[in-house]
Amino acid sequence: MDTLSRIVEDVRKAVEHLKQQRQQTSANIELSTVMTAAGEVLDDELDRLSPHSPADPTVQWEPLNRLIEAGELILSLVPSNHRLRFVFLCNLSASLARRFDLMAPAGNPDWKDLDRAVDLAADAVSVVHGEDVRHRCVVLYRLSRVLEKRGMYSSNVKDIELALQAADESATHLGVAQDMALDCRVQVVKLLTMLFTATHGMNFIERAVAVAQEAVDAMPKRCDQTDESVVHERQLGLNTLARALGMRFEAKGAVEDLDRAIALLDNSLPSLGAEDPNFVIGLDYLGILLGTRFEQQGDIADLNDAIQWSEVAVKRALSSDPDRPRKLQNLADRLAERGQYTGQVADIVRAIEYAQEGLQDAPLNHGERAKWLGNLGAFFGMRYRITQPEPDRTDLAQATKITSEAIDLARKRGDVVLLGSLANTLGNILRYKYEAGDHDDATCLDRAAEVLEEALDLLGPDPEQAFLYHGLGETLLLRYEYGGAVEDVGGAIQAYQRTLDSEIGPPTVRINAAVRAAELLGLLGRWAEATNSLERAVHLLHVLTPGLLQTENKQQLIRHFSGVGAAAAAAALNAGKDPGHALGYLELGRGIISGFLLDMRTDTSALRQAHPDLADQFLRLSSRLAGRPKLQRYDRKTGGQPLFQEGPMAESFDPSKERWRRAVGSEMEALLTEIRSQPEFERFLLPPTVEQLKAAADPDPIFVANVSAFRCDVFVVESHQIRAVPLPHLCQERIIQENHRVQMGSGSLSETLKWLWHALVRPALDGLGLHGNVVPEGTNHAAVEWPRVWWVAVGPLSGLPLHAAGDHGSHNQETALDWVMSSYSSSIKALIAGRTSQPLPPSTSTPGRTVLISMPNTPGQDHLNFTDREVNMLTELCPSMQLTPERPPSLTKDDVLGQLRGCRVFHFAGHGITDPGDPSKSCLLLNDWETRPLTVGDLREERLVEEVAPASAPFLAYLSACSTAANEKLALTDEAIHLVSACQLAGFRHVVGTLWSVSDVFCVDVARRFYEVLRDEGATDVAVCRALHLAMRELRDIKAERKGEKGVTLDNSNGLDRGARVAGPKRHNLLWVPYVHFGV
């Protein structure tokens, strides 16, 4: 006889014995003892068949049926008034619910099992004696769980409300049943979040957060990590609070809720064993939250982590887990987001596969089926878009069919918020159909507008509103382009502005809407409104890219919004605003990455004198934010074993850079608020004021050349005024075209320089009253004084040689080189920061070190014949400049970086490469460049001025290589991401670089003349500019044996080009043109 048969027989005998005994006391005791033992056996058997046992549900089918049969028999034998009858009612209820769970994934659950499970649990509540408070708490909890299950599967809100009532009543007895306190609170929170999802009532989610916080607060602050039950309970509480906070964020958009929820899970999950059910639950929800934060802030590291954890959650979920379909959908969502972000169709394909699998596993009446169908429809739409220009039209048909089905289902269930999301998806798909030419008229657009407007009429304040309004704006704009209805333009503007006004909408969507609205407003001449939209967009750029984001992620975000600052400045001028105001927004909307790094290196001497503690805190945090954290692999405290022994998860729970930076970034924000509250530090690290912009033009004027589709101007900044000089002959399209020609080496560079002169440089110089400085032939140029000017080139202009503009084929000296000495800065802010944060030039009589690097032979690159000659020449010059030449023994990345600290001059002669995809990976080529390149990213993280005596502070970096001042990524040109700016950020006061490929042989002549001037005139700020100016003039005026234009050599002998043409343009004959000076 097996165990179940034995306990049934024991109960039957005990009941018979009770009936036969006149003296029933002993018989009652016997029956109670037998029933208690039987109840324990039944509970043990059910636990053995828990959802977390065998992955194959059929293994459980027979033993579960036998357990239910035994429960039914025992229940039929037990007297209806027996005090322990509730035990068997609860057990049978749980067994039937378990059998329902086994059938549900197959799509044919037995609803009679679940209905009877609810009835039995309700009977158990009714038979528990009133004075038995603890057991009443237990059975109420059981009733709540089974009602929750029925409500979840049937989407019956009434069941969830009844479940909450039972859980609330159970929670009232927590004083009696302390061991159940956490379970009861967690159940209450879970039901409140379900009601919030179903009804969107804010009272539910607010109460859920409050109860979850109570549960966590009631736990000991420090728990025994070796006690698995204690660890399990604490994690359960933290998981619950994180879920409630995450859902409140979705409703209210408070980022602090989202960050706190992620931090709770991030810090607590490592304490759990990988087999603990809460570990998988927590990982799954961590993936959801990280994905949500990516949607808000666009941090790709969050999205990659979300996918990683969601994959683990899916792998660890059993096929019989009723929550597995939702886990599959979460993973599909994240993969689709990454596919859309990166353009990788493989991620979209995987998303479709996981979404289809999840829908197949879920019951047909699952509460989230409409949402999941909508996601699948969106994924097909994404794949259609990504596979352009040869998409699969069946994807579009599938997307339309599935999304329409989802909308019908959501309508039946009255889910207003979901309808909003689905309407946005369908609106996108209908626009795709119109663009694909599936219809000869605007029927698709009419239908899209109708769907979106209907959803907006139903939807209250919700983050989804921003997407809906943006989609409506796009639809109406397309419809205007098709039919020309003026009211559609007004409707589109209004929709975009509503998007911008959505405070809880993602910044990326709001910025895009602001730009679109401004473009339309500009067409209508409504420049004041256009300016307002763009100025708000500029501020949102800084919300989108806070200091806590790593530089690589900022690049990914900023590239989508190139030119917003330039557009804001141009619109402001069109609106009649003061040029100083316009220039302020131009500065604010550019150089966001370099501006942050400059802020982190700001001079703190005044702060240290007034508030040394605050200065110390700032230096500590800035050095951490501007650098890279050292990552440690996480080991569990209970034995030191990592959570995952091998494979891609082996580095689980490393304190990743982004989360590490997020905590430091929040601390920095609080510190800046405190510093700005101190007298005289109210503007600490805030953008420069108009007065500060003007002060930067003392003693030399600054030209800021702005390029926008609205208009082009040069801002003329003087110490007493800021003016805007219109440039009617300059346009964005021509600039991009000329930039491309220069980079590719196609066309005539001479013609480009003439065009630059007439369209930009001459009008700018005329604006200051500057004219040519006629120098008679035979005059010693070193004795001539040229006025000095600064150039700040905006957008694609930054790749063009403004300093070389002019007609160099004539002798009328109509050239910038004959009128002024030119220096560059990436922004006025950078100019101000360089002057205040870097030490003043050392005295020419003060000895210093010079690091000289010659790379004639570079692995994988062409041999350079003249780098040794160049460096040997400098070695001979160094003693006359009070410099000690040093050449690193090993020309590797680490060796060179180590030598830079404490050197006054750094001269590199060799190959340079630009990375057109990611300019932060542009590099100087050393012996180990193929495995460990010395990149822009490496150099800008150096802080060479720290803990260095002023006499040893870095003064000059001379990069005699190709394209060291070039950034070929058009969308990031305003960020000045190149080797020259990286050296400035590292601490060098001046940097000489090149815009494109340079001549190997003539590099020697330019360097020789440059350093001779420094030797003769001293290492001053002006002397660096003057030295390069004279070197370029000398090279320009070289009289070759065969001459074409002035300064043009037709010699194509070996040594003409420095560089392997990996990233540089083709050969140019104006060999002096690419050299540029960035400094202070």
Give yes or no for a contact between 711 and 574, defined as CB atoms under 8 angstroms apart.
yes
The pLDDT of residue 476 is: 94
Tokens describing residue 609: 């004198």
Q: What average pLDDT does range 308-313 have in this prediction?
A: 92
Average pLDDT over residues 53-69: 63
Q: What is the pLDDT of residue 567?
A: 96
CB 1073 within 8 A of CB 749: yes
Q: State the Cα angle at 687 between 685 and 689, rounded to 5°.
A: 120
| Closest to 886 measured CA to CA, from 1028, 858, 994, 895 | 895
In the predicted structure, residue 232 carries a pLDDT above the cut 80: no
Q: How confident is the model at residue 146 (pLDDT cuts 50, 70, 90)?
A: very high
CA dihedral 755, 760, 763, 769 (to 10 degrees): -110
pLDDT tens track for 426-477: 998 988 888 887 555 678 889 889 989 988 888 777 778 899 999 999 999 9
- Find residue 994's DSSP bridge partners: 1075
Task: Give the model's pLDDT for residue 647.
Answer: 30
Beta bridge partners of 29: none
Can you give the C-alpha Rg of the chain in angstroms? 36
pTM score, whole prediction:
0.74
CA–CA gap between residue 361 and residue 325 (Å, rounded):
6
Distance of CA 765 to the CA centre of its chain: 42
Distance between CA atoms of 833 and 540, rounded to whole angstroms? 23
Q: Is 844-1078 a domain of CATH 3.40.50?
A: yes
Q: Given this model, what pLDDT does residue 1052 score?
A: 36
735, 797 contact by CB (below 8 A): yes
What are the residues facing 788 on neighbouring strands?
821
1054 pLDDT above the threshold of 50: no
844-1078: same fold as 219-316?
no
Q: Which has the closest alpha carbon to 154: 118, 126, 124?
A: 118
Residue 241: name the closest of 216, 259, 221 by CA: 216
Q: Where are the beta strands (DSSP E) in 90-201?
A: none
Residue 510 has pLDDT above 60, yes or no: yes
Write the pLDDT tens digit of every residue in 322-350: 788 999 999 999 999 999 888 899 999 99
Sequence letter at residue 317: A
Type of residue found at 65: N
Is the pLDDT assigned to residue 162 strictly greater than 90? yes
The two beta strands, 702-707 and 923-924, are unpaired
pLDDT by residue (tens digit) across 671-713? 888 999 999 888 888 889 999 999 999 999 999 999 999 999 9
* Distance between CA atoms of residues 472 and 420, nearest Å: 12
Q: Considering Cα of 865, then 868, then 873, then 877, what sign does the dihedral take?
A: positive
Q: Which pLDDT band, with edges at 50, 70 and 90, does 16 fall under?
A: low
Domain 340-574 top-level CATH class: mainly alpha
pLDDT of residue 231: 66
CA-CA distance, 129 to 135, in Å (whole number)?
9
By three-state DSSP, how is residue 1058 classified? strand
In angstroms, rounded to a whole number, what is the distance separating the alpha carbons of residues 325 and 358? 4
Distance CA 498, CA 514 (A): 10
Q: What percent of the chain is predicted at pLDDT more than 90?
A: 41
Long-range contacts of 216-222 (CB under 8 A, 24+ apart): 216/241, 218/181, 218/182, 218/185, 219/182
Instruction: Using the predicted structure, report yes or no on whether residue 1061 has a pLDDT greater than 70.
Output: no
Q: DSSP secondary structure string, 240-306?
A: HHHHHHHHHHHHH--HHHHHHHHHHHHHHGGGS-TTSHHHHHHHHHHHHHHHHHHHHH--HHHHHHH
Q: What are phi and psi of 945, to 5 degrees?
A: -90, -10
| Cβ contacts of 946 within 8 Å, gap of 6 or more | none
Contact 627, 600 (CB under 8 A): no
pLDDT value at position 971? Answer: 65
Q: Compute the mean pLDDT over every residue in the chain, rounded to the nearest whole number.
A: 82
Which DSSP string corresponds to 202-227? HHHHHHHHHHHHHHHHTS-SS--TT-
Give the residue from 190, 201, 203 showing the smallest Cα distance to 244.
190
Residues 532, 588: Cα–Cα separation, whole Å: 15
Distance CA 953, CA 944 (A): 7
- What is the Cα–Cα distance from 424 to 213, expressed in whole angstroms? 35
Contact 349, 315 (CB under 8 A): no
Q: How far apart are CA 465 and CA 253, in angstroms?
A: 12
Q: DSSP per residue over 820-847, as a string?
A: -EEEE-S-HHHHHHHHHHSPPPPPTTS-
Q: What is the pLDDT of residues 1012-1051, one digit of tens each?
A: 999 999 989 999 999 999 999 998 887 433 344 333 333 3
Instruction: Indicate if the alpha-carbon torsion angle 82, 83, 87, 90 is positive or negative.
Output: positive
Tokens for 13, please give them: 């005998």
Please report where in the chains the tokens 């007439």 appear, as a residue: 758
Q: What is the 3-state secondary structure (H, E, C) of 946-958?
A: CCCCHHHCCCEEE
What's the confidence (pLDDT) of residue 1048? 34
Take residue 415 and report the two structure tokens written for it.
């889910």
Query: Is a pLDDT exceeding 70 seen at residue 670?
Result: yes
Q: Which CATH number fits domain 219-316: 1.10.40, 1.25.40, 2.60.40, 3.30.60?
A: 1.25.40
Q: Which two tokens stand for residue 904?
A: 């006054």
Domain extent listing, the chain: 219-316, 340-574, 696-824, 844-1078
Q: What is the pLDDT of residue 857?
A: 93
Sign of CA dihedral 298, 302, 306, 307: positive
**What pLDDT shows up at residue 907?**
97
Burial of 599 (0-12, 13-18, 19+ CB in 10 A): buried
Residue 641 pLDDT more than 50?
no
The burial of 400, by beta-carbon neighbours within 10 Å (0-12 exposed, 13-18 middle, 19 or more buried), is given as buried
| Cα(858)–Cα(503) distance, integer angstroms | 54
For residue 849, what is the enclosing H or E element?
A: strand 848-854
**CB of 568 closer than 8 Å to CB of 586:** yes
CA atoms within 13 A on the CB side of 614: 20
Alpha helix locations (H) across 484-634? 486-501, 507-523, 527-544, 551-558, 564-574, 579-588, 592-600, 605-610, 612-625
Q: List the structure tokens of 956.
A: 């000059």
852: β partners: 907
| SS3 of 1029-1043 | HHHHHHHHCCCCCCE
The C-alpha atoms of residue 562 and residue 583 are separated, in whole angstroms, by 17
DSSP calls for 134-165: HHHHHHHHHHHHHHHHHHHHHT-HHHHHHHHH
The sign one gets for the Cα dihedral 628, 632, 634, 637 is negative
Query: What's the pLDDT score for residue 1066?
Result: 40
Digit-coded pLDDT (tens) for 111-139 = 888 999 899 889 888 888 766 788 888 88
Q: Quick one: pLDDT at residue 172?
A: 79
> pLDDT tens digits for 378-424?
999 999 988 877 888 899 999 999 999 999 998 888 888 888 889 98
In whole angstroms, what is the distance from residue 619 CA to residue 445 CA? Answer: 55
Contact 555, 978 (CB under 8 A): no
